[in-house]
Amino acid sequence: MSRVLVVGLGAIGGYAAAVLSAGGADVSVLARGRTLEVVRASGLRIAGGPDEVTSHPTVLDSLDGAGAFDVVLLATKAPDTADVVATFADHLAEDGVVVALQNGVGRGATVSELLGRDAGLDGVVYLEARMEEPGVVTFLSGARRFELGDPSRPAAERAEPLAQALRDAGLNAVASPDPQTAAWRKMVLVATANSMTGATRAMFGDLIADERGRAVARALLREGAAVAAADGADLGPDFATEAFDFLVDVGPGLRSSMLHDVERGRRTEVDTLNGEIVRRGDDLGVPTPSHAVMQLVIGGVPTRS
Ligand SMILES: NC(=O)C1=CN([C@@H]2O[C@H](COP(=O)(O)OP(=O)(O)OC[C@H]3O[C@@H](n4cnc5c(N)ncnc54)[C@H](OP(=O)(O)O)[C@@H]3O)[C@@H](O)[C@H]2O)C=CC1
Ligand SMILES: CC(C)(CO)C(=O)C(=O)O
């Protein structure tokens, strides 16, 4: 694989960068603050899990003079996307691609829109991880699977060869045959687990140990699955039930990237997740009252002028 740039060196970006760099890929990471200092001095570490490693990618504090990259793995939180795309837009090779390793639907298309060219791919990630201290990604749970979806071209053209190259460097990457369904499947899960944990600051297992928590989770999953189906995703008739069982199987300790943001006092992805379900539900005539409540609780009530 040719030159890879990872932008957003947190839990997911750090995990992918560490695995790929240890696997021999030519990986650069754009870092800042304390993470920049630590990774430059001591490398990037995955703590725990089957990919435990310390690796040494090229560490950049700016892209000045860095040349062009063939693959950008974009792993900031969704609200930071426009800012970071502007920083690397001039450093993407002519036929380069950007994989948005982000929760949500239409993330690759959003990147393409911002770039003004068809270069964005979806990256649906099944991995629970946290950067608890700068430069150290703690593996928590999950299949460590990275699903690449091309919203505009057949998988054989870009997603499959890229997934193969990432696999060759040690990352568990696969190409999605149906990117829209793949993105919605994860969207419905995280809009449920992330908002419930973010709104209550509780672990998902504790929430669904209570009948009221189980009822809220089921309502969020049902509404999300109904919007996904109306939007054309092929989740199957029992998805809401299967998704509930999946979240239970993840284990009682499931926290979420949104809970991490709430704990750190950071902006959350509630608008990208629950807000997007509400907007699409409105457009498609599907009621989404539970997601609207989460959007208001976590995102805040808009002030009246
Ligand atoms: N964590 C998880 O378990 C999972 C997360 N996801 C999804 O993956 C995506 C990334 O999440 P996650 O890894 O948890 O997020 P993190 O908050 O851990 O990491 C985001 C990183 O982006 C960096 N960043 C933000 N803005 C900029 C900028 N302008 N320039 C350079 N770096 C910037 C942040 O740096 P700084 O800290 O300095 O602000 C931080 O290091 C999200 O969409 C999330 O929903 C998907 C599956 C699981
Ligand atoms: C790990 C998981 C699935 C939890 O909902 C996730 O994607 C996240 O935290 O963003």
- Residues 147-158 pLDDT 10s: 999 999 999 999
Query: Nearest bound ligand to CA 191?
Result: 2
Last residue of a domain, one of 176, 206, 223: 176
Instruction: Read off the CATH number of the domain in which 269 is found.
Output: 1.10.1040.10
Q: What ipTM, to 2 d.p.?
A: 0.98
How confident is the model over 259-271, as pLDDT tens digits? 999 999 999 999 9
Query: Residue 304 domain-assigned?
Result: no
If asked whether residues 186 and 265 sit together in one domain, one would say yes
**Residue owning the nearest CA to atom 10 of ligand 2:** 257
pLDDT for 305 beyond 90: no
In Å, how far are 125, 262, 299 from 303, measured between CA atoms? Answer: 35, 21, 12
184 C-alpha to center of ligand 1: Å?
20
Q: Which residues contact 158 (CB under 8 A, 6 or more apart)?
A: 97, 121, 150
CB 192 less than 6 A from any atom of ligand 2: no
- Residue 147's domain spans which residues? 4-176
Mean pLDDT, the chain, integer: 96
pLDDT at 1: 65
125 C-alpha to center of ligand 2: Å?
9
Query: Residue 225 domain-assigned?
Result: yes
If asked whether residues 32 and 154 sit together in one domain, one would say yes
If asked whether residues 195 and 59 sit together in one domain, one would say no
**Number of domains observed in the structure of the chain:** 2
CB 125 less than 6 A from any atom of ligand 1: yes
